[in-house]
């Protein structure tokens, strides 16, 4: 990288993208492809595809603790240690609690990935579209504010990002879970297929479908051009994939942006704030703290995309104060940081199935089956608002008996036996954004880089508890009727945040008095600043949100560039 | 030589009191062969674990647990992945195991005959880990030794082969009854 700190001119770009995760990577790709000189700022270190996946080809026996996190690390970092993917093979991609403190006014497990690629390296890769049943939810059910967009606004952009990212799935023809541009789906197991057929025959409005996921089940030309090949079913995704088998910024959008010659990627760059020019009435750049030297440098551009991941995007805007915006950039409504929400992942159910003993599976699969939302879809029918989707998986595990000792024990260990079909689901519930669920900045305490410490203050509510109860009841009934046995439900009681689907705080809406962003993801009050990560979400629905961030980002960049050309921003 | 339990205990107490006073460099027993961060184990302790590994999963025509260093894995896991109170319990259990062995056979586990080892382990297989310290040590160590063995390079390349790159997933295939393997 050239020394870009020399003069203001050297520090001036056409566009600045804050963050290099799943949405920032898309912003980088879109801007650079359209010919804009783009600065991509990443607070963490660089992680280059192929080069920086140190554990990717390691065998189980090469990990001293066979994947387990040592107790001393767990004790020092209780939050991240609760994350399912925080294991010995991928721990280097997760932020340790100790290194980046925040204040939990109520318990909130904030899972972060501070590196180039962000959490797109370790995400769970499930990708479903929203429908108008989701976008019209707040207006129909009277919460939050109406979304300023509808499915029709986003549908072409879903198609656009799906083709490039590569999404495996099946066209199911479900109105509230629209079909996409799918590569072939991953197979279902025998018992998953049985349950799919059982549900179709016995429940009019319920479906069990092939999981839709960002894996190259059958790579197309566009994927080959990215240097990515077919998913090899390793299911070691969280280590970074040397095949580019799943979509990440590192394997896909960032190298694509790099190839244009228009991208300047600057790791170790914490964005302190966005610079607002009172005369011009718009943002002119950002203040960046170099994490190594702790020096502050300004960078300038005509348009700024904030893709720092939901919570940190709120932090940057709240910290961007000026005479015009004393309470944070674009915060005329006073709602910045409020109406934050997440997904309710507390419910789990497991069971066994005694049938189909003569069948099993072979190889590994990076996804499972999926049960789209079936509660309150067409109209309100329960005593809680909205609903939940669920994962569905059925597989057989091999085990060995471990009785006694000596030669007989060794014989047992040498001869694996096939267990029964295990069956399980987890809940993905929509939560209702509330004004009191919010992110604020500490007035005094600062972190190592001089940024104010974040406060997170949110919790489950009565609606979430009722929905959890309904999940247990409905799933237990479906499982029972399908002939599953040994059914067990459990409430993980996990804190909000551990779903890693935190959303909101900078919500979209039609009215500047009740929202921060317009229908193009521009701040109502500062139109050359866009937010297209989780922070922009007006409501949460039940779908894994990343695909929607990608589509919103590509759409917003397209709009930004056309406005720039017309001199409108 | 038969020694009364009282005399044996006295000797043990005398010796350990003496050891406590001596600087560690004068101690006869060298430290364990692998570096530990949290717990202290010496070569004798390591020998007990190695003998236990060898007894649980013996070398036959194929390597046993000791050959794949499952006893070292056990030490590493207790040292790094156990909570303090569980480490303490395991260490006390190891002492109880050693004492049980010496009380019964007047020598350490690794000096025991195959019959003596079998008799001791049969007792501990049946004992309750939550009330019996030696059983806790035995059953916990057995679990770790099995984990170390079944996740070893030998086991995952020669017994149940681990595929780093399966490159396939089939959701529904007929179960084939595998041939019985001889260990």
Residue range A428-469, pLDDT digits in tens: 999 999 999 999 999 999 999 999 999 999 999 999 999 999
A418 touching chain B per CB within 8 A: yes
The pLDDT assigned to B26 comes to 54
Residue range A375-387, pLDDT digits in tens: 999 999 999 999 9
Q: Are A373 and A176 in contact (CB under 8 A)?
A: yes
> Residue range A500-504: average pLDDT?
98
Of the candidates A174, A266, A135, A210, the one whose C-alpha atom is nearest the C-alpha of residue A540 is A135
Instruction: Name the residue in chain A with its Cα closest to that of B55.
Output: A406
Cβ of A232 and B156 within 8 Å? Answer: no
As a whole-number percent, the residues of chain A with pLDDT over 90 amount to 99
Residue range A56-73, pLDDT digits in tens: 999 999 999 999 999 999
Q: Is the pLDDT of residue A5 over 70?
A: no
A379 touching chain B per CB within 8 A: no
Residues in chain A closer than 8 A to B174 (CB atoms): 358-360
Cβ of B173 and A359 within 8 Å? Answer: yes
Residues in chain B closer than 8 A to A362 (CB atoms): 168-170, 173
Measure CB to CB from residue A361 to each of B58, B167, B173 and give the nearest one.
Answer: B173
B139 touching chain A per CB within 8 A: no
Q: For A135-177, give the DSSP string.
A: HTHHHHHT-S---S--HHHHHHHHHHHHHHH-EE-----BTTB
Report the DSSP pairing between strands A388-399 and A417-430: antiparallel
Of the candidates B58, B54, B59, the one whose C-alpha atom is nearest the C-alpha of residue B71 is B54
A104 touching chain B per CB within 8 A: no
Cβ of A410 and B77 within 8 Å? Answer: no
- What is A17-168+215-342+433-456+499-568's CATH topology? FAD/NAD(P)-binding domain (3.50.50)
Instruction: Name the residue in chain B with its Cα closest to that of A68.
Output: B81
The pLDDT assigned to A318 comes to 98
Cβ of A413 and B150 within 8 Å? Answer: yes
Instruction: Encode burial over A223-260: b for 16+ CB neighbours within 10 A, e otherwise.
Output: beebebebbbbbebbbbbbbbbbbbbbbbbbbbbbbeb
Residues 38-57 of B with CB under 8 A from A: 38, 55-57
A563 touching chain B per CB within 8 A: no
Cβ of A60 and B156 within 8 Å? Answer: yes
A247: CB partners within 8 A, 6+ apart: A120, A125, A165, A166, A214, A215
- Domain residue spans of chain A: 17-168+215-342+433-456+499-568, 174-211+343-430+460-495
Q: Is the pLDDT of residue A160 over 50?
A: yes
Which residues of chain B register pLDDT less than 50?
Answer: 1-24
Interface predicted TM-score (ipTM) of this complex, two decimals = 0.94
The pLDDT assigned to A158 comes to 99
Residue range A518-552, pLDDT digits in tens: 999 999 999 999 999 999 999 999 999 999 999 99
Which residue, among B68, B69, B171, B176, would best test binding to A if mutated, counting the most A CBs under 10 Å from its CB?
A: B171
> Residue range A248-274: average pLDDT?
98
> Residue range A22-29: average pLDDT?
99
| Confidence band for A276, pLDDT divided at 50, 70 and 90 | very high
Residue range A332-372, pLDDT digits in tens: 999 999 999 999 999 999 999 999 999 999 999 999 999 99
Q: Are A59 and A38 in contact (CB under 8 A)?
A: no
Q: Are A509 and A538 in contact (CB under 8 A)?
A: yes
The pLDDT assigned to A447 comes to 95
- Domain residue spans of chain B: 29-159
| Confidence band for A1, pLDDT divided at 50, 70 and 90 | very low
Residues in chain A closer than 8 A to B56 (CB atoms): 405-406, 409
Of the candidates A70, A90, A369, A79, the one whose C-alpha atom is nearest the C-alpha of residue A209 is A369
Query: In a 3-state reduction of DSSP, which class is residue B121?
Result: helix
Measure CB to CB from residue A362 to each of B57, B77, B170 and give the nearest one.
Answer: B170
The pLDDT assigned to A22 comes to 98
A323 touching chain B per CB within 8 A: no
Residues in chain A closer than 8 A to B125 (CB atoms): 404-405
The pLDDT assigned to B22 comes to 46
A261 touching chain B per CB within 8 A: no
Backbone angles phi, psi at A251, to 5 degrees: -90, -15
Q: Using CB atoms within 10 Å of the CB of residue A416, give its burial: 0 to 12 exposed, 13 to 18 middle, 19+ buried.
A: middle
Beta-bridge partners for A428: A389
Angle between helices A462-481 and A190-202 (to 10 degrees): 100
As a whole-number percent, the residues of chain A with pLDDT over 70 amount to 99
Residue range B80-98, pLDDT digits in tens: 999 999 999 999 999 999 9
Tokens linked to A501: 């689907």
């Amino acid at each position: 990288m050239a020394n870009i700190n020399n003069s203001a001119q050297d520090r001036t770009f056409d566009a600045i993208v804050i963050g290099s995760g799943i949405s920032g990577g898309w912003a980088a790709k879109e801007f650079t492809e359209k010919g804009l000189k783009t600065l991509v700022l990443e607070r963490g270190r660089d992680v280059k595809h192929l080069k920086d996946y140190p554990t990717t080809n390691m065998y189980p026996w090469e990990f001293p603790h066979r994947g387990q996190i040592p107790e001393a690390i767990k004790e020092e970092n209780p939050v991240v240690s609760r994350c399912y993917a925080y294991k010995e093979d991928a721990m280097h991609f997760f932020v340790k609690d100790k290194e980046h403190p925040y204040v939990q006014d109520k318990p909130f497990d904030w899972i972060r990935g501070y590196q180039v690629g962000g959490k797109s390296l370790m995400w769970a890769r499930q990708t479903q579209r929203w429908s108008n049943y989701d976008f019209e939810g707040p207006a129909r059910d009277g919460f939050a504010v109406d979304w300023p967009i509808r499915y029709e606004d986003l549908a072409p952009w879903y198609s656009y990002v799906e083709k490039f990212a590569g999404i495996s799935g099946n066209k199911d023809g479900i109105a509230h879970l629209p079909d996409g541009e799918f590569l072939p789906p991953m197979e279902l197991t025998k018992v998953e297929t049985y349950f799919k057929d059982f549900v179709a025959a016995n429940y009019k409005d319920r479906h069990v479908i092939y999981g839709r996921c960002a894996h190259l089940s059958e790579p197309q030309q566009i994927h080959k051009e990215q240097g990515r090949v077919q998913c090899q079913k390793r299911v070691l995704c969280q280590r970074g994939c040397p095949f580019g088998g799943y979509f990440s910024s590192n394997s896909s959008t960032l190298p694509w942006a790099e190839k244009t010659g228009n991208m300047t990627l600057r790791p170790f760059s914490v964005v302190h704030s966005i610079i607002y020019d009172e005369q011009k009435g718009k943002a002119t750049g950002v203040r960046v703290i170099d994490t190594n030297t702790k020096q502050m440098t300004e960078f300038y551009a005509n348009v700024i995309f904030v893709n720092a991941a939901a919570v940190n995007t709120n932090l940057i805007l709240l910290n961007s104060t000026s005479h015009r915006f004393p309470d944070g950039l674009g915060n005329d409504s006073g709602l910045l940081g409020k109406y934050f929400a997440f997904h309710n992942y507390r419910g789990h159910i497991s069971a066994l199935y005694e049938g189909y003993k003569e069948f099993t599976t072979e190889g590994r699969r990076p996804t499972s089956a999926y049960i789209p939302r079936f509660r309150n879809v067409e109209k309100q029918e329960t005593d809680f608002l909205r609903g939940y989707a669920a994962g569905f998986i059925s597989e057989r595990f091999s085990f060995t008996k471990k009785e006694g000792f000596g030669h007989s024990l060794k014989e047992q260990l040498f001869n694996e036996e096939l267990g029964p079909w295990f069956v399980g689901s987890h809940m993905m519930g929509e939560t209702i954004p509330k004004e009191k669920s919010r992110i604020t900045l500490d007035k005094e305490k600062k972190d190592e880089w001089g940024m104010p410490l974040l406060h997170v203050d949110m919790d489950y509510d009565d609606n979430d508890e009722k929905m959890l109860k309904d999940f247990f009841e409905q799933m237990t009934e479906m499982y029972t009727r399908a002939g599953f046995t040994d059914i067990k439900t459990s409430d993980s009681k996990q804190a909000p945040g551990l779903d890693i689907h935190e959303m909101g705080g900078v919500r979209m809406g039609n009215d500047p008095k009740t929202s921060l962003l317009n229908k193009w993801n521009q701040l109502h009050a500062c139109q050359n600043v866009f937010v297209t990560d989780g922070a922009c979400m007006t409501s949460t629905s039940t779908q894994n949100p990343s695909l929607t961030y990608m589509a919103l980002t590509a759409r917003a960049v397209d709009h930004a560039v056309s406005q720039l050309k017309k001199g409108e921003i | 030589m038969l020694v009364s339990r009282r005399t044996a205990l006295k000797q043990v107490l005398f010796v350990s009191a003496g050891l406590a006073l001596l600087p560690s460099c004068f101690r006869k027993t060298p430290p364990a062969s692998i570096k530990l961060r949290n717990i202290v184990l010496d070569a004798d302790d390591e020998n007990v674990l190695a003998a236990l590994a060898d007894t649980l999963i013996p070398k036959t025509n194929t390597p046993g647990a000791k050959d794949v260093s499952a006893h070292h894995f056990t030490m590493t896991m207790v040292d790094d992945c156990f909570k303090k109170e569980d480490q303490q319990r395991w260490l006390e259990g190891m002492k109880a195991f050693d004492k049980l062995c010496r009380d019964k056979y007047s020598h350490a586990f690794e000096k025991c005959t195959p019959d003596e080892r079998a008799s001791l382990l049969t007792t501990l297989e049946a004992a309750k880990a939550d009330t019996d310290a030696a059983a806790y040590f035995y059953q916990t160590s057995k679990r770790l030794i099995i984990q170390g063995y079944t996740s070893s390079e030998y086991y995952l390349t020669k017994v149940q082969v681990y595929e780093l790159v399966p490159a396939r997933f089939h959701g529904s295939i007929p179960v084939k009854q595998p041939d019985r393997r001889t260990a």
